[in-house]
A and B are shown apart, each in its own frame.
Chain A
Amino acid sequence: MSRLRLIGATVTGLALALSLTACGANDDPLAEETTSGGSSGGAVTVGSANFAESELLAEIYSQALEAKGVEVKRSFNIGARELYLKALQDGSIDLLPEYNGALLAALSAGGAPEGVSKPEDVLGALKKVLPAGTEVLEQATAEDKDTLTVTAETAAQYNLKTIADLQPVANKLVIGAGPEWGERYQGLKGLKEVYGLEFKEFKPLDAGGPLTVNALKDGDIQVANIFSTDSSIVTNKFVVLEDPKSLYLAENILPLIRTEANNPTVSGALNAVSAKLTTENLTANLAKVQVDKQDTATVAKAFLTENGLV
């Protein structure tokens, strides 16, 4: 028997193993890749940042689009803004949920422009700095702000009510946030410039996720960047410090989309979502995901059904 056949059998066997274990996998992601990037194929790729609320919003957008007959591909959990904006610009994704103030600050060199804090002003300023080829749709009244949050004990110990109160004690405190905070204006830079805060140490953890929340609870950090809609604030009786100098601007939720992927059907579906999205219903729905561990698809579906969007 020819030994060539042996080698042939090995290779065929491997290929067979591949197709066997693929159990019905009929499309290969490489083939998918070529169609998902461009908007010309008809499918819209929805992305999300790497925290639960962003994923929930992305799922709500996706289902709202699907209800209008738009084909949707999901590419969730990409990473921080610095990374997913790149994915948006190279066409890996077509749209994702954003926060007007944080996006404005990220896109403006040297931080957000002075005197801009109301939602409409922020939106206006944002539209001027959007990267070429992208646009934002209508924003919701729902807001989710970056906060500086401390435990009730820390607040009592140092008599903290606002971020400004941290100034005399910051050098004794460790602050925790997503790694991107080390470089962001709406992070350590802004805290130093606007409030004159220099912390003892910065611990890079995650974007308002379980690392940050648990580190705050365990006392590994004393000050944490947690999102204002996060249910852990209420559950753990954390104290959110006020922001009298408006370092954190309005943070209304709105879709950021590649112009190529936008059309009346898409914007119609997403604007209808924004019209119904409030801070209250977002907080309640996020708690279903974070506390009750319901999956995002179920929560998103319930939200859209309640609001007559599907």
Chain B
Amino acid sequence: MNLSYLFDPEHWQFGVAGGFPQLILSHLGYSALALLFGVIIALPVGLYIGHTGRGSFLAINAGNAGRSLPTLGLLMLMVTLLGLGLLPVLIALTVLVVPPILTSTYAGMRAVDHSVVDAARGMGMRPWQVLTRVEFPMALPVIMGGFRSAALQVIATATVAASVGLGGLGRLLIDGLAVNDYSRVLAGAIVVAVLAVVLDLFLALVQRWVVSPGMSGQARRAAT
């Protein structure tokens, strides 16, 4: 195991094309955009299905159907159809993150105790209020779980962007492979894995911060 590429300070300078900071930023950029689009698409759909119970077949099966779409094939299909650029990569990665977010949103909503919803209705809450003040906060831990696994997947998979000429940490894998420089491939793999772990820890913190204390059990602990 040769770590020389990883620890070469030259590769860590800011603003250098092909250096780690620039690759990490573009990698995070693709991933963040895909997650953003994924949330924009999947969250409302999941909330709607979970709230109304209509179309639950879609939500349940979206998970496995989405996972079965090979991202590399989808990416190459999109590039062949749309040409080079960011758009095909974003489409392929968004398709990757929609299923876990959709499925977990639905599952979170379904897991909300019916009696709580009934109580909220009984208190005179409108459907919109029931959704935003009761169901969504109660479903949030599960939704966050799905979001975190989507984030892990997209970070590991965004490496394919390099196979169609874009940047991101996949460049280290593709270029290292092309020139038979294993030290570079190893550096790429390590940085991607570390990035994924750091991101997951960060999201765990976010989760603790956004989830209502009543849900995480902190309030109960404080009361006793």
User: Does chain A bind chain B?
Assistant: yes
A171 at interface, CB cutoff 8 A: no
- Give B153-187 as 1s and 0s: 1 = Cβ < 8 Å from A's Cβ atoms: 00000000010110000010011011111000000
When A201-B17, A203-B165, A206-B165 are in contact, do A179 and B178 touch as well, CB less than 8 Å? Answer: yes
**Number of B interface residues, CB 8 Å?**
15
**A178 touching B165 by the CB < 8 A rule?**
no
Q: How far is the CA of A204 from the CA of B180 in the complex (A)?
A: 15
A206: nearest chain-B partner, CB-CB? B165
**A83 touching B180 by the CB < 8 A rule?**
yes
Give the distance to chain A from B188, nearest Cβ to Cβ, in Å. Answer: 12
Q: Residues of B contacting A184 with CB < 8 Å?
A: 179
- Give B63-102 as 1s and 0s: 1 = Cβ < 8 Å from A's Cβ atoms: 0000000000000000010011000000000000000000
A214 at interface, CB cutoff 8 A: yes
When A204-B171, A211-B84 are in contact, do A183 and B165 touch as well, CB less than 8 Å? Answer: no
**B179 touching A183 by the CB < 8 A rule?**
yes
A27 at interface, CB cutoff 8 A: no
**A215 touching B84 by the CB < 8 A rule?**
yes
Q: Residues of A contacting B165 with CB < 8 Å?
A: 176, 203-206, 211, 215
Q: Residues of B contacting A82 with CB < 8 Å?
A: 178-180
* Contact partner, A83, options B84, B162, B164, B177, Cβ 8 Å: B177
Max chain A Cβ within 10 angstroms of own Cβ: one of B80, B179, B181:
B179
Q: Residues of B contacting A179 with CB < 8 Å?
A: 171, 174-175, 177-179
B162: nearest chain-A partner, CB-CB? A204
**Number of A interface residues, CB 8 Å?**
23
Q: How far is the CA of A184 from the CA of B175 in the complex (A)?
A: 12
Q: Residues of B contacting A204 with CB < 8 Å?
A: 162, 165, 171, 174-175, 178
Give the distance to chain A from B185, nearest Cβ to Cβ, in Å. Answer: 11
A218 at interface, CB cutoff 8 A: yes
* Contact partner, A214, options B83, B171, B178, Cβ 8 Å: B83
Q: Residues of A contacting B180 with CB < 8 Å?
A: 82-83, 86
Q: How far is the CA of A300 from the CA of B181 in the complex (A)?
A: 34
A79 at interface, CB cutoff 8 A: yes
Q: Residues of A contacting B162 with CB < 8 Å?
A: 204
Q: How far is the CA of A203 from the CA of B162 in the complex (A)?
A: 11
Q: Residues of A contacting B84 with CB < 8 Å?
A: 211, 214-215, 218, 220
Q: How far is the CA of A234 from the CA of B99 in the complex (A)?
A: 45
A-B contact pairs, 29 of them (CB 8 A): A79-B178, A80-B177, A80-B179, A82-B178, A82-B179, A83-B180, A86-B180, A176-B165, A178-B178, A179-B174, A179-B178, A180-B175, A180-B178, A180-B179, A182-B175, A182-B179, A183-B181, A201-B17, A203-B165, A204-B171, A204-B174, A204-B175, A205-B165, A206-B165, A210-B80, A211-B164, A214-B84, A215-B165, A218-B83
Task: Name B's A-contacting residues (CB within 8 A).
Answer: 17, 80, 83-84, 162, 164-165, 171, 174-175, 177-181
